């Protein structure tokens, strides 16, 4: 066999030592310079600015858009303070509606307020209707029992039901409205009754059974 050639490249010494090779591989694994994770202040600034702009716009619209009511820009609309103006309902109109509601006053006293002779007393021209406010409020709140005389005629019907908490449970406003209606309808010309008057009577009397004529005549 022939001797190996002295020109075999495999027998030449390596141009890079083992120490140099290890150092080259360890260099990428070492501590790298901090490039702040590509952090940029400008995008964050734009984000905060846009968020503030959205918040401001929402607040502005909530305050000045008039809840998107189409009448808010009506030049003929009267100015108001503290929110939208609410038209106050006519107590007489409201009282009429309550008077004629199902199962309420008109059933016995009739739509014309004339009642039924000998059974249900009339409200038109009635001295009870046009008498002291507290007296008529007590009648509607607690009811009426027994014979009652109206314009010299006696009426002895079934007990009148209570429209207060022990009966129909009408509010002070409803009772005031229906009483105002009957006191100003069918030729009656008595002052209106307010919800405050009804509330005062309700508080003053508390719980009570239906009134009798004699008891009511003591109220002035």
pTM over 0.85: no
pLDDT of residue 44: 77
Q: What is the pLDDT of residues 61-110, one digit of tens each?
A: 777 776 666 665 555 556 565 555 556 778 899 999 999 998 889 999 99
Please give the average per-residue pLDDT across 11-28, as a whole number: 67
Please give the average per-residue pLDDT across 114-121, as a whole number: 92
156, 150, 154, 170: which is closest to 103 by C-alpha? 170
Q: 217 with 205: CB under 8 angstroms?
A: no
Q: Residue 158: which pLDDT band, with cuts at 50, 70 and 90?
A: confident
pLDDT of residue 22: 72
**CATH number corresponding to 91-216:** 1.10.760.10
Q: Does 199 or 39 have the greater pLDDT score?
A: 199
Q: What is the CA radius of gyration of the chain?
A: 46
Please give the average per-residue pLDDT across 115-144, as a whole number: 94
Q: 141 with 202: CB under 8 angstroms?
A: yes
pLDDT of residue 17: 73
Pairing of strands 153-155, 148-150: antiparallel
Q: What is the pLDDT of residues 162-188, one digit of tens each?
A: 999 988 999 999 999 999 999 999 999
pLDDT of residue 171: 94
Q: For the chain, which residues make up each domain, given as ranges?
A: 91-216
């Amino acid at each position: 066999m022939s001797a190996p050639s002295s020109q075999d490249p495999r027998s030449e010494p390596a141009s890079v030592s083992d120490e140099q090779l290890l150092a080259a591989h360890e260099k990428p694994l070492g501590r790298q310079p901090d490039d702040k994770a590509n952090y940029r202040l400008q995008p964050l600034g734009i984000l905060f600015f846009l968020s503030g702009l959205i918040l401001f716009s929402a607040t502005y619209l909530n305050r000045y858009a008039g809840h998107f009511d189409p009448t808010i820009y009506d030049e003929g609309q009267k100015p108001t303070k503290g929110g939208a103006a609410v038209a106050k309902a006519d107590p007489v109109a409201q009282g009429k509606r309550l008077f004629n509601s199902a199962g309420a006053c008109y059933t016995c006293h009739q739509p014309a307020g004339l009642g039924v002779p000998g059974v249900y007393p009339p409200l038109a021209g009635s001295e009870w209707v046009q008498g002291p406010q507290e007296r008529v409020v007590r009648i509607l709140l607690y009811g009426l029992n027994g014979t009652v005389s109206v314009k010299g005629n006696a009426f002895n019907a079934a007990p009148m039901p209570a429209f207060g908490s022990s009966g129909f449970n009408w509010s002070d406003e409803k009772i005031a409205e229906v009483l105002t209606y009957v006191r100003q309808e069918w030729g009656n010309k008595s002052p209106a009754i307010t919800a405050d008057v009804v509330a005062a009577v309700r508080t003053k009397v508390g719980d009570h059974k239906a009134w009798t004529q004699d008891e009511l005549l003591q109220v002035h």
